Structure 1
Amino acid sequence: MRILVTGASGTIGGEVLRQLLAAGHPVRALTRDPARAGLPEAAEVVAGNLAEPDTLTGLFTGVDRMFLAPAFAVARTAEQVVAAATAAGVRRIVTLSSGAVVDDEPGVEDADYHHADEVTVERAVEAAGVEWTHVRAGEFMANTLDWAQAIRTTGVVSSPFGKIASGMVHEADIAAVAVAALTQDGHHGAKYVLTGSELVTPPEQVAAIAAAIGRQLRFEAISPAQARASWQAQGYDPAFIDWMLGPEDAPLAESDFVGAAELTDDVERVLGRPAHTYARWAADHAADFR
């Protein structure tokens, strides 16, 4: 059984790669630039770009299972990529999707759906006639690595919506569920929605990082307008800013979100243990904040 991991230099793909190698599975890892990716020597690393199918010649030869991510990189070419994979003998595909995808949500099939890329990839895989599993991950705990520079230099994290609790999920849990679906039977047709085991607010996240690195840190609540200006100055994608804060002429309010987050038990059902806490994630990543 040879497993292909796409997005192998990404947060989730990289963790899937490491867990598969640790379990002794032969893995082929796809990345656009092997020389810069720094991937483990135990992996068979190949160059290619999912958005450019012509670069994938021979990629699927000898592969029977595939982890397919990230959606934005393959959405435009999803049908071509999946067709090439299945023609070469891939018989099981696990996708990294989004927990925000809701099957019965109005407009889910529309081109302007808020996670249209993920839906496009999911549908292409479902139509391929292979075993499939969708790993619909919620907000990554790893997103808070964006705070690392501010924590190292000022000890202050400035962010809007400080009262909003999130069921953030550890990348190790996302990867472990994907690895289970790749290597074990019984996951065909599953759409796992992954969250952590608890709801945590940004100030609680900052407190967990402070405990992990042994420093005093402070959370500073800022307005959505201040956040927009800061993110624009840092070059964030305007679509991302509007997704997080709402459009500039109709900004979201904190009251729109408080109490809206939900937890699932899919991590525990698949892995037989609770999802990791944010405190565990902070301890795992303490070096990133020092």
Structure 2
Amino acid sequence: MSTILVTGATGNVGRHVVSQLAGAGLEVRALVRDPGRARLPEHVEVVRGDLSAPETLEPALKGVESVFLLWPHFTADGAAEVVTAIAGHARRVVYLSANVADEPVTHYHEVERLIRHSGLGWTFLRPGGFAANTLGWAGQIRQGVVRWPYGQASRPLIHERDIAAVATHVLTSAGHSGATYVLTGPERLTQVEQVRVIGAATGREVRWEEQPPEEAREQLMAAWGNAAFVESALKAWASFVTAPEQVTDTVERLLGRPALTFGQWAEDHVADFS
């Protein structure tokens, strides 16, 4: 049976990819920086490695046919070496990109370009907004007030389990070579509405307080440390006020069931906001 390598195996999406593949009885190898802290299913092969150090990838790639690739950096520095290493072993890669088609060239575009020219069979998953990004509000949710910019920005946030389910489907079935899939949740909600849904799930009264973008910029720079990424995020949120992110039916078409709602996501993460 062919081995599937999962990078980002302890992250929000990768952990679900590992569990779903292992649950289907497939040979899964998880690439992690610290195997002792991975906390993955016992029958999953855990291998130490770091995408920031391509020379560490050889043991993880040995005997691998397919790779789920999550690039963890804000730039594409080092990505060429990683893609070359993957192409030296695997036949195909499923890359977790992002739905930034209208943005200037980003690291997502650059990694996609490298993969297209690598000789690998490829599939690109381009999710829109991650529901899990709202975990950044957890501390404010506990205090009863979320202070953030662009409350009327509207997006169909996607559950990380749906991204993982699509990745698992693509990794284990034919007909996806050269495909690019834009993934979203099933319904658009403004950020104000997202806060309301989380409040309902947690049983808390939570209100929205509009934050000036300049103030948010300072906080995001302190948290992310990448000016270009901060500006891109603020620009995107502003655009979703007047041009909400479009809903796609890709999850339902590929999986044969509706995408999970934001309400379902909030119920799944009540403990994270408690």
The two structures have a TM-score, normalised by structure 2, of 0.91
**Between 231-240 and 202-211, the greater mean CA deviation after superposition:** 231-240
Within-5 A mapping of 1:23-34: 23-34=24-35
- CA deviations on 1:209-238 (whole Å, 9 max, x unpaired) are 112112221111222123234434556543
Q: Which residue of 1 aligns with 2:158?
A: 169
Q: Which residue of 1 aligns with 2:129?
A: 139
Tell me by how many angstroms 1:6 deviates. Answer: 0.6
Tell me by how many angstroms 1:288 deviates. Answer: 0.6
Distance 1:73 1:53 in 2: 17
Distance 1:71 1:236, change over 3 A: closer
Tell me by how many angstroms 1:61 deviates. Answer: 1.0
- CA deviations on 1:157-186 (whole Å, 9 max, x unpaired) are 111101111121111111111111100111
Tell me by how many angstroms 1:253 deviates. Answer: 9.0
Q: State yes or no: 1:47 paired with 2:53.
A: no
Distance 1:5 1:74 in 2: 20
**Between 276-285 and 54-63, the greater mean CA deviation after superposition:** 54-63
Q: Which residue of 2 aligns with 1:261?
A: 245
Distance 1:233 1:134, change over 3 A: closer
**Between 29-38 and 198-207, the greater mean CA deviation after superposition:** 29-38
Distance 1:71 1:122 in 2: 14
Contact 1:51/1:73 (<8 A) preserved:
no
Q: Which residue of 1 aligns with 2:22?
A: 21
Distance 1:83 1:74, change over 3 A: farther
- CA deviations on 1:59-78 (whole Å, 9 max, x unpaired) are 21111111011253883333
Structure 1: gaps (5+ residues): 108-112, 247-251
Aligned counterpart in structure 2 of residue 226 of structure 1, from 190, 196, 215 = 215
Tell me by how many angstroms 1:259 deviates. Answer: 2.8
Cα RMSD (Å): 2.2
Distance 1:239 1:39, change over 3 A: farther
Three-state SS of the structure 2 residue aligned to 1:75 is coil
Q: Which residue of 2 aligns with 1:68?
A: 69
Contact 2:5/2:64 (<8 A) preserved:
yes
- CA deviations on 1:7-31 (whole Å, 9 max, x unpaired) are 1122211221121112221110001
The two structures have a TM-score, normalised by structure 1, of 0.86
Tell me by how many angstroms 1:240 deviates. Answer: 3.1
- CA deviations on 1:111-167 (whole Å, 9 max, x unpaired) are xx2x2x212221222223232100011110000000111222x11111110111112
Q: Which residue of 1 aligns with 2:86?
A: 85
**Between 66-75 and 201-210, the greater mean CA deviation after superposition:** 66-75
Aligned counterpart in structure 2 of residue 160 of structure 1, from 149, 156, 164 = 149
Within-5 A mapping of 1:117-136: 117-136=107-126
Aligned counterpart in structure 2 of residue 277 of structure 1, from 238, 258, 261 = 261
Contact 1:99/1:138 (<8 A) preserved:
yes
Contact 2:145/2:208 (<8 A) preserved:
yes
Aligned-pair identity in percent equals 47
Contact 1:92/1:132 (<8 A) preserved:
yes
Q: Which residue of 2 aligns with 1:216?
A: 205
Q: Which residue of 2 aligns with 1:249?
A: none
Three-state SS of the structure 1 residue aligned to 2:197 is helix
Distance 1:225 1:86, change over 3 A: closer
Q: Which residue of 2 aligns with 1:100?
A: 100
- CA deviations on 1:55-101 (whole Å, 9 max, x unpaired) are 1222211111110112538833333323333322x112100001113
Q: Which residue of 1 aligns with 2:3?
A: 2
Distance 1:25 1:137 in 2: 25
Distance 1:260 1:211, change over 3 A: closer
Distance 1:151 1:95, change over 3 A: same
Distance 2:150 2:138 in 1: 19
Three-state SS of the structure 2 residue aligned to 1:41 is coil
Aligned positions, number: 273
